[in-house]
Structure 1
Amino acid sequence: MKTLPDNPNLDHLRRQAKDLLTGLRDIRPDATLADAQASLAEQYGFRTWTDLKAEADRRRGHAEVADPALARRIAGRFGLGDVVGEMRSVSRPDEMGRRWLLQTGRGRWAPRTVDDVYPVTDGEDNARFQEAAARAGVTLPAPVRSVSGAVVEVIDGSQWRVYEWLRSGPPLAAPVSATVTGKVGDMLATLHGLRVPVDGTCPWSSVRLASSSWPELAEVAAAEGAGWAPVLAAAVPTLAELESVGNRAAPAAAVLCHNNVSPGNVRVGPDGRLILTGWEHADGLPPAWELAAALVSWAVIPAGGSTPRGRGLWPTVIGRGPAACHR
């Protein structure tokens, strides 16, 4: 589920709805702006577009302000220049930490805490991957190294990273247009074509974390009297079959992948280019695994259903030479 930023921008929500409308009309030519607004509200966890706007109005201007001394320490440690304004939170804490906006005499910066990154990393390989991707043509917020050359610095008990602040629109929301999915396919092909070597596959993506089987979960649901228990019980054979897919397959060698190329990590820049964010989970994956995850993120409609062939993502990625590993 999407989450609103700490200081929601109604114009951003309207733009998200208009972008979403373009994607919906690829599937349903008669889709209206009201349909897109309703879908977007649902993705944010609200019953109606009116409810979403009301919450955005209520939260506007409620970003938290960091201790000025902390802002100065971050700016000093990363060589960002003199702080000229308040350091304000951008969003609620996520699974890793929290994102902030800091303005100095040299420009705008995006510091964030990375206290709970899994697997644990010092960010060095991650930053080199981003730098290589940028040289290959992927647009992204450039990682900033500290004055000591480190990617991550411990400041006031938290691990901090800093990125350049790039002006952009809001994060995208699925479904998106065929043009956008084609551009996402281009980015994936570029990243995988770098073939950055890595020591093994990301443990989060390669190990099944659930200890209970589907039949066991169905039995627990039935015992608890859950209203959806019969639906789960009926789906158990299909779920068990899907779980076995690939058991005997030998995955391709892992390379360094972004590991989260989802609509929430992609924005549109002023020049129309896509900006890829959220690099903190970059780790080793067989490229086809990341492609499969991207297809789910971009080609599955949140309210149910899927889009034809990922509307450009699949044919774009497999059709390029650097991405031959997907075939």
Structure 2
Amino acid sequence: MTDPLLTAAYAAYGWGPEVTVAPGPRGALGRIWRVRTPAGHYALKHSFETPPDGRLQAELDLTRRAAAAGVRVPATHPAADGRLQVPAPGGGVLRLYDWVDLRPIDPAAAGTPERLGELLARLHSCAPAAGEQEPWYHQAPDAAHFAAFTDQPWSARLDRLRADLPQLTGALTPPDPAALRVCHRDLHPENVQAGPDGDLVVLDWDQLGPADPVRELIQTLYAWFTTDAHDAATDVVNGASNSVSNSDSIGAGVGAGDAPVGDPAYRRAEDQMAACYAAYVDAGGPGRVTGPGDYTMLLADRLNFLLHQARIAADPRTSADDRAWAELEIDETLRLLPTPEQLRVSPARIGRTRPAAPGPPPDDPRRAQPGRR
């Protein structure tokens, strides 16, 4: 075996020659291998960055709470010495999980908004209080940071974004410390899929940390219902292509950021978001949509991530595969960002007919209960 990472994995988990490892999907922050052993199949994940101190314990606590609330979470398994994460050669960490045969969920399918809203309600209802939130989730880079990228396939789209940036970042507000709970913070469609029995399975808890539930709700609504870039990324993840050139597609995507509020496709997306929010409230979710400030986490996270991926894509030292992936992420992020006009009108449309009062207390019988919906 010549791959140093897999050599380290075999040593750490005590695998012999009867164990086989095959490449699986990758994302911007990690890569998966499928592991076949006599005892069963597992997913070996290489997270490209080492998590900060305390995140592993916070993840274990939240996933235990989520499982008790009826949320499906793949089990994690220790290395031979008992560690749940193993340092990886070249950086990052290795984790071993149960392999679950999954299928993507169609955001446009009947019932998807309601199922997603109930899932979010379960996650937020069981989440413990959290401490201070990282600036990444409520502070954004200014326009000057995006002016450095010229002669790229996506430069013109960044120029259009720079024109809107003052209005977008003007909506950002610091979170209320009393509202912060431990949240997943990355609930895009690739991280919520259907298991063999149809139940929703939540994956990739690597970005877990403090968030206001309503801000994670808005972030999730836009990830699910306002962009079709997810389809292109999923094709690559599922092996349709291991190395793609996105130069032809990066320049002209259609998503939330390209659609006026009167566009029929965007109005349908708002209807889906409203249905998801209604199901969330009915299932006892604590967040309430009140205005543009609820978009803070969506905007700050996406803008910081966009700048990070732009730097990767523009770096001449970046490999072809990593550049192709970064360009996919740039495209998807630009599709996901709302426009200033959407910030003005969409919160009221998403929250229409829903009560402004907080959800029921944790012991109220109306709160989401464990079990399949």
TM-score bucket (shorter structure): 0.5 to 0.7
Query: Corresponding residue for 2:188?
Result: 262
Query: Corresponding residue for 2:345?
Result: none
In 2 relative to 1, CA 68–257 (structure 1 residues): closer, same or farther, beyond 3 Å?
A: closer
State the Cα distance separating 1:102 from its structure 2 match.
Answer: 0.9
Query: Corresponding residue for 1:163?
Result: 97
Q: Which one of 181, 184, 207 corresponds to residue 113 of structure 2?
A: 181
Query: Corresponding residue for 2:334?
Result: none
Q: Secondary structure at the match of 1:87?
A: strand
Residue identity opposite 1:255 in structure 2: R
Q: Does the 8 A contact of 2:113 with 2:273 survive in 1?
A: yes
Q: Does the 8 A contact of 1:101 with 1:111 survive in 2?
A: yes
Residue identity opposite 1:73 in structure 2: A
Query: Corresponding residue for 2:286?
Result: 324
Residue identity opposite 1:212 in structure 2: A
Q: Secondary structure at the match of 1:126?
A: helix
In 2 relative to 1, CA 244–119 (structure 1 residues): closer, same or farther, beyond 3 Å?
A: farther
State the Cα distance separating 1:207 from its structure 2 match.
Answer: 2.7
**Aligned-pair identity (%):** 22
Write the distance in 1 (CA, Å) between the matches of 2:87 and 2:149: 44
Q: Does the 8 A contact of 1:184 with 1:313 survive in 2?
A: yes
State the Cα distance separating 1:200 from its structure 2 match.
Answer: 1.6
- 1:232 to 2:165 alignment: no
Write the distance in 1 (CA, Å) between the matches of 2:158 and 2:143: 18
Query: Corresponding residue for 1:40?
Result: none
Q: Does the 8 A contact of 1:85 with 1:102 survive in 2?
A: yes
Write the distance in 2 (CA, Å) between the matches of 1:102 and 1:221: 40
Query: Corresponding residue for 1:253?
Result: 179
State the Cα distance separating 1:315 from its structure 2 match.
Answer: 0.8
Listed as ranges, the gaps of 5+ residues in structure 1 are: 1-63
Q: TM-score, normalised by structure 1?
A: 0.64
Q: Secondary structure at the match of 2:67?
A: helix
Query: Corresponding residue for 2:132?
Result: 200
Write the distance in 1 (CA, Å) between the matches of 2:124 and 2:89: 37
**1:244-323 superposed matches below 5 A:** 244-247=170-173, 250=176, 252-302=178-228, 303-304=254-255, 305-306=265-266, 307=269, 308-310=271-273, 312-321=275-284, 323=285
Q: TM-score, normalised by structure 2?
A: 0.57
In 2 relative to 1, CA 75–119 (structure 1 residues): closer, same or farther, beyond 3 Å?
A: closer
Q: Does the 8 A contact of 1:181 with 1:310 survive in 2?
A: yes
Write the distance in 1 (CA, Å) between the matches of 2:218 and 2:165: 17
Query: Corresponding residue for 2:60?
Result: 127
Query: Corresponding residue for 2:143?
Result: 212
Write the distance in 1 (CA, Å) between the matches of 2:75 and 2:89: 24
Residue deviations 1:240-265, cap 9 Å, x none?
A: 23321244874652111011111111
Q: Which has the higher contact order (CA 8 A, sep 6+)?
A: 2
In 2 relative to 1, CA 66–221 (structure 1 residues): closer, same or farther, beyond 3 Å?
A: closer
Query: Cα RMSD between the aligned structures?
Result: 3.5
Residue deviations 1:117-138, cap 9 Å, x none?
A: 5656552211221122112111
